[in-house]
Structure 1
Amino acid sequence: MPIDAACHLNVLVPDLAEPALGRALGTLADLGYSSVVLPPIDPDGDPLAGWAALFRDHGLAPITIAGQAPGADVSSPDEDEQQAGVAALLRMVDATAALGGDQMNGVSYGLFGRSPTAAPPGALERAAGHLGRVADQAHERGVTVTFEVLNRYETPLLNTAEQALAFLAASGSAHLRVHLDTFHMAVEEADMLAAIRSAVPVLGYLELGQSGRGPLGSGSVDTAAAVRAAVEAGYRGRVGVEAFSRSVLSEFASDLLGIWREPYTDGAALAAEAIGIIRRAEADVGSPAGLGS
Protein backbone atom coordinates (compact mmCIF):
# COMPACT_ATOMS: atom_id res chain seq x y z
CA MET A 1 0.00 0.00 0.00
CA PRO A 2 1.31 3.50 -0.79
CA ILE A 3 2.04 5.93 2.00
CA ASP A 4 -1.02 7.72 3.34
CA ALA A 5 -0.12 11.28 2.39
CA ALA A 6 -1.68 14.13 4.36
CA CYS A 7 -1.62 17.86 3.70
CA HIS A 8 -2.33 20.69 6.10
CA LEU A 9 -5.39 22.59 4.93
CA ASN A 10 -3.63 25.91 5.60
CA VAL A 11 -1.27 25.17 2.72
CA LEU A 12 -4.17 26.16 0.47
CA VAL A 13 -6.72 28.16 2.47
CA PRO A 14 -6.82 30.09 5.78
CA ASP A 15 -9.82 28.31 7.33
CA LEU A 16 -12.75 25.95 6.78
CA ALA A 17 -15.08 28.51 5.23
CA GLU A 18 -17.01 27.57 2.11
CA PRO A 19 -16.80 27.61 -0.84
CA ALA A 20 -13.00 27.67 -0.61
CA LEU A 21 -12.97 24.60 1.64
CA GLY A 22 -14.68 22.38 -0.90
CA ARG A 23 -12.35 23.55 -3.67
CA ALA A 24 -9.28 22.90 -1.50
CA LEU A 25 -10.46 19.40 -0.59
CA GLY A 26 -11.11 18.66 -4.25
CA THR A 27 -7.60 19.79 -5.14
CA LEU A 28 -6.01 17.58 -2.48
CA ALA A 29 -8.10 14.56 -3.48
CA ASP A 30 -7.22 15.03 -7.15
CA LEU A 31 -3.51 15.19 -6.26
CA GLY A 32 -3.71 11.86 -4.45
CA TYR A 33 -3.79 12.88 -0.80
CA SER A 34 -5.70 10.59 1.55
CA SER A 35 -5.86 12.84 4.61
CA VAL A 36 -6.15 16.52 5.46
CA VAL A 37 -4.89 18.21 8.63
CA LEU A 38 -7.32 20.79 9.95
CA PRO A 39 -6.44 24.07 11.65
CA PRO A 40 -7.78 24.46 15.21
CA ILE A 41 -11.55 24.02 15.42
CA ASP A 42 -14.19 24.63 18.08
CA PRO A 43 -15.43 21.17 19.10
CA ASP A 44 -18.50 22.66 20.73
CA GLY A 45 -19.62 25.21 18.15
CA ASP A 46 -18.41 24.28 14.68
CA PRO A 47 -20.58 22.43 12.12
CA LEU A 48 -18.98 19.01 12.57
CA ALA A 49 -21.69 16.98 10.81
CA GLY A 50 -21.57 19.16 7.70
CA TRP A 51 -17.78 19.02 7.54
CA ALA A 52 -17.83 15.25 8.08
CA ALA A 53 -20.05 14.85 5.02
CA LEU A 54 -17.73 17.03 2.97
CA PHE A 55 -14.66 15.00 3.96
CA ARG A 56 -16.49 11.78 3.09
CA ASP A 57 -17.54 13.16 -0.28
CA HIS A 58 -13.91 13.90 -1.14
CA GLY A 59 -12.51 10.66 0.31
CA LEU A 60 -10.25 12.53 2.75
CA ALA A 61 -9.72 11.56 6.37
CA PRO A 62 -9.62 14.63 8.65
CA ILE A 63 -6.84 14.94 11.22
CA THR A 64 -7.56 17.36 14.06
CA ILE A 65 -5.18 19.44 16.14
CA ALA A 66 -5.56 19.66 19.92
CA GLY A 67 -3.83 22.14 22.19
CA GLN A 68 -3.80 23.53 25.69
CA ALA A 69 -4.58 27.02 26.99
CA PRO A 70 -3.97 29.06 30.12
CA GLY A 71 -6.26 27.61 32.75
CA ALA A 72 -6.58 24.33 30.87
CA ASP A 73 -3.13 22.77 30.82
CA VAL A 74 -2.20 19.19 31.69
CA SER A 75 1.34 20.27 32.61
CA SER A 76 0.19 22.87 35.17
CA PRO A 77 0.93 22.35 38.88
CA ASP A 78 -2.70 23.29 39.58
CA GLU A 79 -4.94 20.22 39.64
CA ASP A 80 -8.02 22.08 38.46
CA GLU A 81 -6.10 23.38 35.43
CA GLN A 82 -4.85 19.88 34.71
CA GLN A 83 -8.37 18.49 34.72
CA ALA A 84 -9.58 21.33 32.51
CA GLY A 85 -6.79 20.46 30.09
CA VAL A 86 -7.83 16.81 30.06
CA ALA A 87 -11.45 17.80 29.45
CA ALA A 88 -10.42 19.98 26.50
CA LEU A 89 -8.48 17.11 24.95
CA LEU A 90 -11.35 14.67 25.39
CA ARG A 91 -13.77 17.11 23.75
CA MET A 92 -11.44 17.22 20.75
CA VAL A 93 -11.29 13.43 20.69
CA ASP A 94 -15.09 13.41 20.51
CA ALA A 95 -15.00 16.01 17.72
CA THR A 96 -12.44 13.97 15.79
CA ALA A 97 -14.69 10.93 15.92
CA ALA A 98 -17.71 13.03 14.93
CA LEU A 99 -15.81 14.30 11.89
CA GLY A 100 -15.04 10.75 10.82
CA GLY A 101 -11.37 11.11 11.70
CA ASP A 102 -9.06 8.58 13.31
CA GLN A 103 -6.14 10.78 14.40
CA MET A 104 -5.64 13.79 16.66
CA ASN A 105 -2.31 15.61 16.48
CA GLY A 106 -1.17 18.72 18.31
CA VAL A 107 0.79 20.22 21.16
CA SER A 108 -1.35 18.43 23.70
CA TYR A 109 1.18 18.32 26.54
CA GLY A 110 1.44 22.01 27.44
CA LEU A 111 1.23 25.61 26.30
CA PHE A 112 2.43 26.60 22.84
CA GLY A 113 4.86 29.50 22.61
CA ARG A 114 8.25 30.72 23.65
CA SER A 115 8.87 30.54 27.38
CA PRO A 116 11.21 32.83 29.36
CA THR A 117 12.10 29.90 31.63
CA ALA A 118 12.78 26.20 31.47
CA ALA A 119 9.93 23.78 32.02
CA PRO A 120 8.92 23.81 35.70
CA PRO A 121 9.70 20.72 37.80
CA GLY A 122 7.19 17.93 37.32
CA ALA A 123 5.57 19.45 34.23
CA LEU A 124 6.52 16.65 31.87
CA GLU A 125 5.57 13.93 34.33
CA ARG A 126 2.14 15.50 34.89
CA ALA A 127 1.55 15.95 31.20
CA ALA A 128 2.70 12.43 30.32
CA GLY A 129 0.37 10.76 32.79
CA HIS A 130 -2.67 12.74 31.69
CA LEU A 131 -1.93 12.44 27.98
CA GLY A 132 -1.39 8.70 28.27
CA ARG A 133 -4.83 8.26 29.80
CA VAL A 134 -6.40 10.47 27.13
CA ALA A 135 -4.71 8.38 24.43
CA ASP A 136 -6.07 5.19 25.97
CA GLN A 137 -9.60 6.58 26.04
CA ALA A 138 -9.24 7.90 22.49
CA HIS A 139 -8.12 4.47 21.32
CA GLU A 140 -11.46 3.09 22.48
CA ARG A 141 -13.12 5.65 20.19
CA GLY A 142 -10.94 4.62 17.24
CA VAL A 143 -8.77 7.76 17.47
CA THR A 144 -4.97 7.74 17.68
CA VAL A 145 -3.45 10.57 19.73
CA THR A 146 -0.03 11.91 18.77
CA PHE A 147 1.99 14.71 20.34
CA GLU A 148 4.18 17.02 18.26
CA VAL A 149 7.80 17.69 19.17
CA LEU A 150 8.59 21.39 18.67
CA ASN A 151 11.72 23.51 18.57
CA ARG A 152 12.98 25.46 21.58
CA TYR A 153 11.33 28.69 20.43
CA GLU A 154 7.85 27.17 20.58
CA THR A 155 8.03 25.08 23.77
CA PRO A 156 10.49 24.35 26.58
CA LEU A 157 8.94 20.92 27.16
CA LEU A 158 9.76 18.57 24.26
CA ASN A 159 12.36 19.45 21.63
CA THR A 160 13.95 16.18 20.48
CA ALA A 161 12.98 12.66 19.51
CA GLU A 162 14.95 11.35 22.48
CA GLN A 163 12.87 13.47 24.85
CA ALA A 164 9.71 12.31 23.10
CA LEU A 165 10.59 8.66 23.64
CA ALA A 166 11.19 9.29 27.36
CA PHE A 167 7.88 11.16 27.58
CA LEU A 168 6.09 8.29 25.86
CA ALA A 169 7.57 5.79 28.31
CA ALA A 170 6.48 7.97 31.24
CA SER A 171 2.92 8.09 29.88
CA GLY A 172 2.37 4.41 30.53
CA SER A 173 0.22 4.22 27.40
CA ALA A 174 0.49 1.59 24.69
CA HIS A 175 -1.51 3.82 22.35
CA LEU A 176 0.10 7.28 22.50
CA ARG A 177 2.26 8.08 19.46
CA VAL A 178 5.01 10.55 18.51
CA HIS A 179 4.68 13.29 15.88
CA LEU A 180 7.98 14.46 14.36
CA ASP A 181 8.28 17.49 12.08
CA THR A 182 11.39 18.07 9.97
CA PHE A 183 11.02 21.86 10.35
CA HIS A 184 11.55 21.57 14.09
CA MET A 185 14.05 18.74 13.81
CA ALA A 186 16.29 20.90 11.61
CA VAL A 187 16.72 23.20 14.61
CA GLU A 188 17.14 20.60 17.34
CA GLU A 189 18.48 17.29 16.06
CA ALA A 190 22.19 16.62 15.55
CA ASP A 191 21.26 13.78 13.17
CA MET A 192 17.73 14.13 11.86
CA LEU A 193 17.64 10.82 10.02
CA ALA A 194 18.92 8.87 13.01
CA ALA A 195 16.32 10.58 15.20
CA ILE A 196 13.55 9.57 12.79
CA ARG A 197 14.77 5.97 12.74
CA SER A 198 14.87 5.83 16.54
CA ALA A 199 11.22 6.83 16.78
CA VAL A 200 9.78 4.63 14.02
CA PRO A 201 8.39 1.93 16.36
CA VAL A 202 6.18 4.56 18.06
CA LEU A 203 5.94 7.14 15.28
CA GLY A 204 2.37 8.12 14.48
CA TYR A 205 3.00 11.04 12.13
CA LEU A 206 6.00 12.21 10.14
CA GLU A 207 5.53 15.78 8.98
CA LEU A 208 7.58 17.36 6.24
CA GLY A 209 8.25 21.05 6.76
CA GLN A 210 10.94 23.03 4.99
CA SER A 211 13.36 25.40 6.73
CA GLY A 212 11.69 28.50 5.33
CA ARG A 213 8.13 27.14 5.70
CA GLY A 214 7.77 27.05 1.92
CA PRO A 215 8.00 24.46 -0.88
CA LEU A 216 9.50 21.16 0.24
CA GLY A 217 11.97 21.09 -2.63
CA SER A 218 13.57 24.44 -1.76
CA GLY A 219 15.41 24.84 1.54
CA SER A 220 17.99 23.28 3.83
CA VAL A 221 15.92 20.20 4.79
CA ASP A 222 16.24 17.07 2.64
CA THR A 223 12.61 16.04 2.97
CA ALA A 224 12.99 13.12 0.58
CA ALA A 225 15.78 11.69 2.73
CA ALA A 226 13.51 11.95 5.77
CA VAL A 227 10.84 9.89 4.02
CA ARG A 228 13.37 7.31 2.85
CA ALA A 229 14.85 6.97 6.33
CA ALA A 230 11.44 6.37 7.87
CA VAL A 231 10.29 3.85 5.24
CA GLU A 232 13.60 1.97 5.32
CA ALA A 233 13.22 1.65 9.10
CA GLY A 234 9.78 0.10 8.68
CA TYR A 235 7.49 3.12 9.02
CA ARG A 236 4.12 2.62 7.34
CA GLY A 237 2.17 5.48 8.90
CA ARG A 238 1.08 8.84 7.59
CA VAL A 239 3.46 11.35 6.08
CA GLY A 240 2.23 14.93 6.20
CA VAL A 241 2.99 18.16 4.35
CA GLU A 242 3.06 21.51 6.12
CA ALA A 243 3.87 24.95 4.74
CA PHE A 244 2.75 28.44 5.67
CA SER A 245 2.61 31.73 3.81
CA ARG A 246 1.36 35.09 5.03
CA SER A 247 -0.61 35.51 1.82
CA VAL A 248 -2.61 32.35 2.62
CA LEU A 249 -2.87 32.26 6.42
CA SER A 250 -5.04 34.57 8.47
CA GLU A 251 -3.24 37.51 10.05
CA PHE A 252 -3.80 36.01 13.52
CA ALA A 253 -2.29 32.64 12.59
CA SER A 254 0.59 34.30 10.73
CA ASP A 255 1.47 36.38 13.76
CA LEU A 256 1.14 33.41 16.11
CA LEU A 257 3.45 31.24 14.00
CA GLY A 258 5.88 34.01 13.07
CA ILE A 259 5.10 33.84 9.35
CA TRP A 260 6.25 37.27 8.20
CA ARG A 261 6.97 36.47 4.55
CA GLU A 262 5.35 34.78 1.56
CA PRO A 263 7.53 31.76 0.77
CA TYR A 264 4.86 30.69 -1.72
CA THR A 265 1.64 32.02 -3.21
CA ASP A 266 0.27 28.91 -4.97
CA GLY A 267 -0.69 26.30 -2.41
CA ALA A 268 -1.94 23.81 -5.00
CA ALA A 269 1.42 23.87 -6.78
CA LEU A 270 3.22 23.37 -3.47
CA ALA A 271 1.00 20.42 -2.58
CA ALA A 272 1.57 18.87 -6.01
CA GLU A 273 5.34 19.15 -5.70
CA ALA A 274 5.23 17.77 -2.15
CA ILE A 275 3.29 14.60 -2.94
CA GLY A 276 5.64 14.02 -5.85
CA ILE A 277 8.59 14.14 -3.45
CA ILE A 278 6.86 11.67 -1.13
CA ARG A 279 5.98 9.22 -3.91
CA ARG A 280 9.47 9.33 -5.46
CA ALA A 281 11.15 8.81 -2.07
CA GLU A 282 8.82 5.89 -1.37
CA ALA A 283 9.60 4.37 -4.76
CA ASP A 284 13.35 4.83 -4.24
CA VAL A 285 13.24 2.59 -1.17
CA GLY A 286 11.48 -0.17 -3.10
CA SER A 287 13.78 0.03 -6.12
CA PRO A 288 16.82 -2.28 -6.52
CA ALA A 289 19.15 0.72 -6.15
CA GLY A 290 17.41 1.76 -2.94
CA LEU A 291 17.51 -1.60 -1.19
CA GLY A 292 19.89 -1.52 1.70
CA SER A 293 20.77 2.12 1.12
Structure 2
Amino acid sequence: MAKLGLHTFAAAPKWDVATMRAMLPKLATHKVRVLEIPLLDPAEIDVEATRGFLEETGIEAVCSLGLPRDIDVIADPEAGLDFLKPAFEVARGVGSASLSGVTYGTIGKISGAPRKQAEFDGTARFIERAAKLAKGYGLGLGIEPCNRYETHIMNTGADGRAYCEAVGADNVFIHIDTYHMNIEEVSYARGFRDCGPFLGYVHLSESNRGAPGAGTIGWAEVFETLVEVGFDGITTLESMNHVHPAIASALAIWHPVAANPDDVLDAGLPFIHRAAEAAGFRYD
Protein backbone atom coordinates (compact mmCIF):
# COMPACT_ATOMS: atom_id res chain seq x y z
CA MET A 1 0.00 0.00 0.00
CA ALA A 2 1.31 3.46 -0.92
CA LYS A 3 2.47 6.09 1.54
CA LEU A 4 1.79 9.83 1.43
CA GLY A 5 4.73 12.16 1.89
CA LEU A 6 5.31 15.88 2.30
CA HIS A 7 8.25 17.90 0.99
CA THR A 8 9.69 20.31 3.54
CA PHE A 9 9.31 23.21 1.08
CA ALA A 10 5.56 23.01 1.60
CA ALA A 11 6.12 24.04 5.22
CA ALA A 12 9.52 25.72 5.53
CA PRO A 13 12.51 26.69 3.35
CA LYS A 14 14.90 24.43 5.26
CA TRP A 15 14.68 21.22 7.25
CA ASP A 16 14.25 21.94 10.93
CA VAL A 17 13.31 19.34 13.53
CA ALA A 18 11.53 21.84 15.79
CA THR A 19 9.35 23.05 12.92
CA MET A 20 8.45 19.50 11.94
CA ARG A 21 7.76 18.52 15.55
CA ALA A 22 5.26 21.37 15.83
CA MET A 23 3.53 20.01 12.73
CA LEU A 24 3.08 16.48 14.07
CA PRO A 25 -0.66 16.85 14.86
CA LYS A 26 -1.31 18.10 11.32
CA LEU A 27 0.80 15.34 9.77
CA ALA A 28 -1.11 12.75 11.76
CA THR A 29 -4.47 14.24 10.78
CA HIS A 30 -3.59 14.02 7.08
CA LYS A 31 -1.86 10.62 7.33
CA VAL A 32 1.52 11.89 6.20
CA ARG A 33 3.94 8.99 6.69
CA VAL A 34 7.01 10.38 4.90
CA LEU A 35 8.94 13.64 4.95
CA GLU A 36 11.25 14.70 2.13
CA ILE A 37 14.38 16.41 3.41
CA PRO A 38 16.23 18.67 0.93
CA LEU A 39 20.01 18.34 1.09
CA LEU A 40 21.05 21.37 -0.94
CA ASP A 41 23.48 22.00 1.90
CA PRO A 42 23.98 18.73 3.79
CA ALA A 43 25.88 20.55 6.54
CA GLU A 44 22.61 22.27 7.55
CA ILE A 45 21.15 18.97 8.75
CA ASP A 46 21.46 17.93 12.37
CA VAL A 47 21.77 14.23 11.61
CA GLU A 48 21.49 12.91 15.17
CA ALA A 49 18.46 15.04 16.04
CA THR A 50 16.78 14.22 12.74
CA ARG A 51 17.26 10.48 13.07
CA GLY A 52 16.00 10.60 16.64
CA PHE A 53 12.89 12.50 15.57
CA LEU A 54 12.16 10.06 12.76
CA GLU A 55 12.68 6.99 14.93
CA GLU A 56 10.53 8.47 17.69
CA THR A 57 7.65 9.33 15.37
CA GLY A 58 7.88 6.42 12.95
CA ILE A 59 8.00 8.87 10.03
CA GLU A 60 10.03 7.75 7.03
CA ALA A 61 12.55 10.06 5.32
CA VAL A 62 13.41 10.63 1.69
CA CYS A 63 16.36 12.90 0.87
CA SER A 64 16.70 15.00 -2.26
CA LEU A 65 18.84 17.61 -3.96
CA GLY A 66 19.97 19.20 -7.21
CA LEU A 67 23.62 19.80 -8.02
CA PRO A 68 24.96 23.39 -7.83
CA ARG A 69 25.49 25.43 -11.00
CA ASP A 70 29.28 25.34 -10.87
CA ILE A 71 29.38 21.54 -11.26
CA ASP A 72 29.53 19.95 -14.71
CA VAL A 73 29.24 16.19 -14.24
CA ILE A 74 30.40 15.48 -17.80
CA ALA A 75 33.52 17.66 -17.79
CA ASP A 76 34.37 17.01 -14.15
CA PRO A 77 32.50 14.02 -12.72
CA GLU A 78 34.73 13.95 -9.66
CA ALA A 79 33.36 17.32 -8.55
CA GLY A 80 29.85 15.93 -8.80
CA LEU A 81 30.73 12.82 -6.83
CA ASP A 82 32.50 14.91 -4.20
CA PHE A 83 29.31 16.95 -3.78
CA LEU A 84 27.17 13.83 -3.48
CA LYS A 85 29.33 12.06 -0.89
CA PRO A 86 28.32 14.20 2.12
CA ALA A 87 24.70 14.06 0.96
CA PHE A 88 24.88 10.26 0.86
CA GLU A 89 26.39 10.30 4.35
CA VAL A 90 23.56 12.47 5.68
CA ALA A 91 20.88 10.43 3.90
CA ARG A 92 22.23 7.23 5.43
CA GLY A 93 22.69 8.94 8.78
CA VAL A 94 19.06 10.03 9.08
CA GLY A 95 17.81 6.63 7.95
CA SER A 96 16.66 7.44 4.42
CA ALA A 97 16.61 4.61 1.88
CA SER A 98 17.52 6.87 -1.03
CA LEU A 99 18.80 10.17 -2.34
CA SER A 100 16.71 11.51 -5.19
CA GLY A 101 16.07 14.58 -7.33
CA VAL A 102 18.25 16.18 -9.99
CA THR A 103 21.17 14.07 -8.87
CA TYR A 104 22.57 14.09 -12.40
CA GLY A 105 22.80 17.83 -13.06
CA THR A 106 21.81 21.38 -12.17
CA ILE A 107 18.27 22.74 -11.95
CA GLY A 108 17.97 25.71 -14.27
CA LYS A 109 21.05 24.89 -16.36
CA ILE A 110 20.27 24.48 -20.06
CA SER A 111 22.33 24.60 -23.24
CA GLY A 112 19.78 26.28 -25.49
CA ALA A 113 20.03 23.32 -27.86
CA PRO A 114 18.79 19.73 -28.01
CA ARG A 115 20.62 17.24 -25.85
CA LYS A 116 23.60 15.83 -27.70
CA GLN A 117 24.54 12.16 -27.70
CA ALA A 118 27.76 13.05 -25.91
CA GLU A 119 25.69 14.69 -23.16
CA PHE A 120 23.53 11.60 -22.81
CA ASP A 121 26.57 9.32 -22.69
CA GLY A 122 28.45 11.55 -20.24
CA THR A 123 25.45 11.89 -17.95
CA ALA A 124 24.82 8.15 -18.04
CA ARG A 125 28.44 7.50 -17.07
CA PHE A 126 28.07 9.90 -14.15
CA ILE A 127 24.81 8.29 -12.99
CA GLU A 128 26.50 4.89 -13.14
CA ARG A 129 29.32 6.10 -10.92
CA ALA A 130 26.94 7.91 -8.57
CA ALA A 131 24.79 4.78 -8.30
CA LYS A 132 27.81 2.69 -7.38
CA LEU A 133 28.76 5.25 -4.73
CA ALA A 134 25.18 5.33 -3.40
CA LYS A 135 25.10 1.55 -3.18
CA GLY A 136 28.15 1.66 -0.94
CA TYR A 137 26.01 3.70 1.48
CA GLY A 138 23.11 1.28 1.14
CA LEU A 139 21.06 3.83 -0.81
CA GLY A 140 18.94 3.98 -3.91
CA LEU A 141 19.57 6.81 -6.40
CA GLY A 142 16.58 8.62 -7.88
CA ILE A 143 16.78 10.61 -11.12
CA GLU A 144 14.08 13.22 -11.69
CA PRO A 145 13.10 14.30 -15.22
CA CYS A 146 12.43 18.05 -15.20
CA ASN A 147 10.84 20.42 -17.68
CA ARG A 148 12.70 22.01 -20.60
CA TYR A 149 13.12 25.33 -18.77
CA GLU A 150 15.12 23.63 -16.00
CA THR A 151 17.19 21.11 -17.95
CA HIS A 152 17.67 19.76 -21.47
CA ILE A 153 19.20 16.54 -20.18
CA MET A 154 16.13 14.61 -18.97
CA ASN A 155 12.55 15.77 -19.52
CA THR A 156 10.19 12.78 -19.63
CA GLY A 157 9.53 9.38 -18.17
CA ALA A 158 10.85 7.87 -21.40
CA ASP A 159 14.07 9.86 -20.97
CA GLY A 160 14.42 8.57 -17.43
CA ARG A 161 13.92 4.99 -18.58
CA ALA A 162 16.55 5.42 -21.30
CA TYR A 163 19.09 6.48 -18.68
CA CYS A 164 18.12 3.65 -16.31
CA GLU A 165 18.50 1.12 -19.10
CA ALA A 166 21.83 2.61 -20.23
CA VAL A 167 23.21 2.59 -16.69
CA GLY A 168 21.95 -0.87 -15.74
CA ALA A 169 22.30 -0.35 -11.97
CA ASP A 170 19.71 -2.05 -9.79
CA ASN A 171 19.55 0.84 -7.31
CA VAL A 172 18.63 3.58 -9.84
CA PHE A 173 14.98 4.58 -10.15
CA ILE A 174 12.88 7.29 -11.78
CA HIS A 175 11.53 10.06 -9.58
CA ILE A 176 8.74 11.60 -11.64
CA ASP A 177 6.90 14.85 -10.90
CA THR A 178 3.42 15.86 -12.06
CA TYR A 179 4.48 19.52 -12.40
CA HIS A 180 7.09 18.62 -14.99
CA MET A 181 4.83 15.99 -16.58
CA ASN A 182 2.19 18.69 -17.11
CA ILE A 183 4.66 20.51 -19.36
CA GLU A 184 6.49 17.66 -21.08
CA GLU A 185 4.38 14.53 -21.37
CA VAL A 186 1.77 13.66 -23.99
CA SER A 187 -0.36 12.60 -21.02
CA TYR A 188 0.14 11.68 -17.38
CA ALA A 189 -0.78 8.11 -18.26
CA ARG A 190 1.87 7.92 -21.00
CA GLY A 191 4.51 9.41 -18.72
CA PHE A 192 3.92 6.91 -15.92
CA ARG A 193 3.72 3.99 -18.33
CA ASP A 194 6.93 5.04 -20.06
CA CYS A 195 8.82 4.73 -16.77
CA GLY A 196 8.13 1.01 -16.85
CA PRO A 197 9.67 -0.96 -13.97
CA PHE A 198 11.90 1.96 -13.00
CA LEU A 199 9.10 4.09 -11.53
CA GLY A 200 10.17 4.50 -7.91
CA TYR A 201 8.98 7.82 -6.49
CA VAL A 202 6.30 10.37 -7.38
CA HIS A 203 6.04 14.08 -6.65
CA LEU A 204 2.45 15.29 -6.49
CA SER A 205 2.92 18.90 -7.55
CA GLU A 206 0.25 21.28 -8.84
CA SER A 207 0.67 23.15 -12.14
CA ASN A 208 1.25 26.43 -10.27
CA ARG A 209 3.43 24.84 -7.54
CA GLY A 210 0.74 25.64 -4.97
CA ALA A 211 -2.03 23.64 -3.34
CA PRO A 212 -3.08 20.45 -5.17
CA GLY A 213 -6.54 21.01 -6.61
CA ALA A 214 -5.97 24.74 -7.20
CA GLY A 215 -4.41 24.35 -10.64
CA THR A 216 -4.76 22.38 -13.87
CA ILE A 217 -3.16 18.98 -13.10
CA GLY A 218 -5.40 16.08 -14.16
CA TRP A 219 -5.45 14.36 -10.79
CA ALA A 220 -8.00 11.70 -11.74
CA GLU A 221 -5.72 10.50 -14.56
CA VAL A 222 -2.68 10.65 -12.28
CA PHE A 223 -4.16 8.37 -9.63
CA GLU A 224 -6.01 6.12 -12.06
CA THR A 225 -2.74 5.43 -13.88
CA LEU A 226 -0.86 4.79 -10.64
CA VAL A 227 -3.50 2.15 -9.91
CA GLU A 228 -3.14 0.75 -13.43
CA VAL A 229 0.65 0.37 -13.22
CA GLY A 230 0.45 -1.06 -9.71
CA PHE A 231 2.50 1.65 -8.02
CA ASP A 232 2.63 1.14 -4.26
CA GLY A 233 5.53 3.38 -3.26
CA ILE A 234 5.76 6.92 -1.93
CA THR A 235 3.88 9.86 -3.44
CA THR A 236 4.92 13.19 -1.96
CA LEU A 237 3.16 16.54 -2.04
CA GLU A 238 5.73 19.01 -3.33
CA SER A 239 4.92 22.71 -3.27
CA MET A 240 7.18 25.71 -3.53
CA ASN A 241 5.23 27.37 -0.72
CA HIS A 242 8.66 28.04 0.78
CA VAL A 243 11.90 27.49 -1.08
CA HIS A 244 15.58 27.37 -0.22
CA PRO A 245 17.28 30.54 -1.56
CA ALA A 246 19.90 28.37 -3.29
CA ILE A 247 17.38 27.30 -5.95
CA ALA A 248 14.61 29.93 -5.87
CA SER A 249 15.88 31.62 -9.04
CA ALA A 250 16.44 28.36 -10.92
CA LEU A 251 12.85 27.34 -10.13
CA ALA A 252 11.51 30.77 -11.16
CA ILE A 253 9.76 31.31 -7.83
CA TRP A 254 9.09 35.04 -8.14
CA HIS A 255 5.88 35.29 -6.10
CA PRO A 256 3.82 33.29 -3.59
CA VAL A 257 2.40 30.11 -5.08
CA ALA A 258 -0.76 30.31 -2.99
CA ALA A 259 -2.74 33.35 -1.84
CA ASN A 260 -3.11 31.67 1.53
CA PRO A 261 0.03 29.60 2.31
CA ASP A 262 -1.91 27.43 4.78
CA ASP A 263 -4.05 26.13 1.91
CA VAL A 264 -1.15 24.09 0.56
CA LEU A 265 -1.43 21.68 3.47
CA ASP A 266 -4.88 22.36 4.89
CA ALA A 267 -6.67 22.14 1.52
CA GLY A 268 -4.05 20.33 -0.59
CA LEU A 269 -3.60 17.22 1.55
CA PRO A 270 -7.35 16.52 1.94
CA PHE A 271 -7.73 17.05 -1.82
CA ILE A 272 -5.03 14.44 -2.52
CA HIS A 273 -6.80 11.93 -0.29
CA ARG A 274 -10.15 12.55 -2.03
CA ALA A 275 -8.64 12.27 -5.51
CA ALA A 276 -6.75 9.11 -4.61
CA GLU A 277 -9.77 7.48 -3.01
CA ALA A 278 -11.97 8.31 -6.02
CA ALA A 279 -9.50 6.49 -8.26
CA GLY A 280 -9.11 3.50 -5.95
CA PHE A 281 -5.55 4.41 -5.01
CA ARG A 282 -4.96 3.33 -1.43
CA TYR A 283 -2.76 5.00 1.16
CA ASP A 284 -1.46 3.29 4.26
Name the TM-score class by shorter chain: 0.7 to 0.9
Partner of residue 31, structure 1: 30
Distance 2:231 2:17 in 1: 35
**TM-score under structure 2 normalisation?**
0.87
Deviation at 1:68, TM superposition (A): 2.1
Aligned residues: 280
Match of 1:217 among 195, 199, 213: 213
- Preserved contact between residue 13 and residue 24 of structure 1 (Cα < 8 Å): no
Matches within 5 A, 1:14-93: 14-17=13-16, 19-44=18-43, 46-74=45-73, 76=74, 78=75, 81-93=76-88
- Preserved contact between residue 200 and residue 235 of structure 1 (Cα < 8 Å): no
Distance 1:175 1:143 in 2: 7
- Preserved contact between residue 135 and residue 176 of structure 1 (Cα < 8 Å): yes
**TM-score under structure 1 normalisation?**
0.85
Residue 253 of structure 2 is aligned to residue 259 of structure 1? yes
Partner of residue 161, structure 1: 157
RMSD (Å), alpha carbons:
2.4
* Superimposed CA distance per residue, residues 115-164 of structure 1 (whole angstroms, 9 cap, x where no aligned partner): 24334551221221221343244345332211110000000101111111
Partner of residue 203, structure 2: 207
Distance 1:10 1:239 in 2: 15
| Cα gap change, 1:105 to 1:25, in 2 (>3 Å) | farther
Distance 1:155 1:250 in 2: 19
Deviation at 1:30, TM superposition (A): 3.8
- Preserved contact between residue 180 and residue 205 of structure 1 (Cα < 8 Å): yes
Deviation at 1:200, TM superposition (A): 4.3
Q: Percent identity?
A: 25
Distance 1:45 1:218 in 2: 32
Distance 2:58 2:218 in 1: 30
- Preserved contact between residue 173 and residue 198 of structure 2 (Cα < 8 Å): yes
Partner of residue 227, structure 2: 231
Partner of residue 186, structure 2: 190
| Cα gap change, 1:91 to 1:19, in 2 (>3 Å) | closer
Match of 2:102 among 98, 107, 110: 107
Distance 1:26 1:206 in 2: 24
Residue 131 of structure 2 is aligned to residue 127 of structure 1? no
Distance 2:69 2:11 in 1: 30
* Superimposed CA distance per residue, residues 170-215 of structure 1 (whole angstroms, 9 cap, x where no aligned partner): 1121220001111111111112212112214211111111111111
Distance 2:69 2:276 in 1: 41
Residue 140 of structure 2 is aligned to residue 144 of structure 1? yes
Deviation at 1:169, TM superposition (A): 0.9
- Preserved contact between residue 5 and residue 33 of structure 2 (Cα < 8 Å): yes
Deviation at 1:71, TM superposition (A): 5.0
Unaligned residue ranges in structure 2 (runs of 5+):
none
Deviation at 1:103, TM superposition (A): 2.0
Unaligned residue ranges in structure 1 (runs of 5+):
288-293
Partner of residue 96, structure 1: 91
Distance 1:140 1:159 in 2: 28
Deviation at 1:272, TM superposition (A): 4.2
- Preserved contact between residue 5 and residue 236 of structure 2 (Cα < 8 Å): yes
- Preserved contact between residue 181 and residue 208 of structure 1 (Cα < 8 Å): yes
Using CA pairs below 8 Å that are at least 6 residues apart, which structure has the higher relative contact order? 2
Deviation at 1:50, TM superposition (A): 1.4
